[in-house]
Amino acid sequence: MPVVTYLEAIRQALFDEMARDERVFVMGEDIGAYGGAFKVTEGLIEAYGDKRVIDAPISEQAIVGSAIGASYMGMRPVCEIQFIDFIACCFDMLTNFAATSRYRNGVGVPIVVRGPCGGGVGGGPFHSLNPEAFFLNTPGLKMVEPSTAYDAKGLLKAAIRDDDPVLYFEHKFLYRRIKDEVPDDDYIVPIGKAAVRREGTDLSIITFGAMVYTALEAAGTLAEQGVEAEVIDLRSLAPLDRDTILDSVAKTSRVLLLHEATLTGGIGGELAAIIGEHAFGYLDAPIMRLASLDAPVPYAPSLETAFLPGVTRVVEAAKKLVQY
């Protein structure tokens, strides 16, 4: 199988799905002639023309609103938010219209809203957001965030084929840093299934996105000290794969919840509640959460490094858990 970058895997998924289904089209700011801010959509307009690769005005609300309307007419739009921070501009369209459509009138909204999330690149507070917790409280929205190129392609294909709205978060730090084998043949990664990235017996580190690599590096350091950490990559944030989460906790009896978004109100709180409610009897230590500081994302690289949960903090937290 060819080895491709995380970014190229996303582009392949878009090419494949547009070739497979003529109802699929893409829409966003600078995605056509320019090829997107990160060049994810480069080449699409040459292949499919400006009727299916639409350069939109700078209005996220208009992009998502028109995509919902197009989906009602039988199309399957893929919207790019140039930086996922600006998904806040179309919050109303997503939560009050797309998410509730099937409940209100029995009509699904088969749209994908995708865009680059996350820090680690010196983007500052307007270009480094991790917004998953904003939407976790909204029934009707699915959310995914892949950590590998294989998953990036397979999850985007699954999202485009889904009959309900899917938010697809792609971590910009991974775009050109992560490469792995990606089949040319058609495949999907099912929404709602987590992956065990490393087997372990002493504690579970449950995470997703770029933090998977922070967790794996920390797990390698811990292994040198005789501590075997299991690393769970959620992949799907809504719905969550409760079975994989609870099975891992039952196996290790200790759990560290790791995410890049700020701590207060983050997805780690929901995961802790699920584990506390359904796996309390397996726990040999308190559930621990580790996340970014409760502050806007700093611009200065040194401050951003201190803000994000790094390997050292993960190792220290894991040691506290196993020594409890």
Check: CB of residue 167 under 8 Å from CB of residue 135: yes
Selecting among 127, 171, 259, 278, the annotated active-site residue is 127
Cα–Cα distance list, 280 to 250, 273, 284 (Å): 9, 10, 9
Q: Is 85 helix (H, G, I), strand (E, B) or coil?
A: helix
Q: Taking the mean position of all CA atoms in its chain, how far away is CA 247?
A: 22
Q: Edge-to-edge, what's the strand order for the sheet holding 24-28?
A: 53-55, 24-28, 76-80, 112-117, 166-171, 142-144, 236-238
Sequence-ordered list of residues with C-beta below 8 angstroms from that of 153, at least 6 positions apart, any chain: 9, 10, 12, 13, 182, 187
Could you confirm whether 278 is annotated as catalytic? no
Q: Report the candidate in 320, 83, 88, 310 with the shortest Cα–Cα distance to residue 207.
A: 310
Beta bridge partners of 233: 195, 207
Distance (Å, rounded) from C-alpha 90 to C-alpha 74? Answer: 21
Peptide bond into 239 cis (omega under 30): yes
∠133-137-138 over CA atoms, to 5°?
115
CB atoms < 10 A from the CB of 239, how many? 11
Q: Is 166 exposed, middle or buried (0-12, 13-18, 19+ CB in 10 A)?
A: buried
Catalytic residues: 127
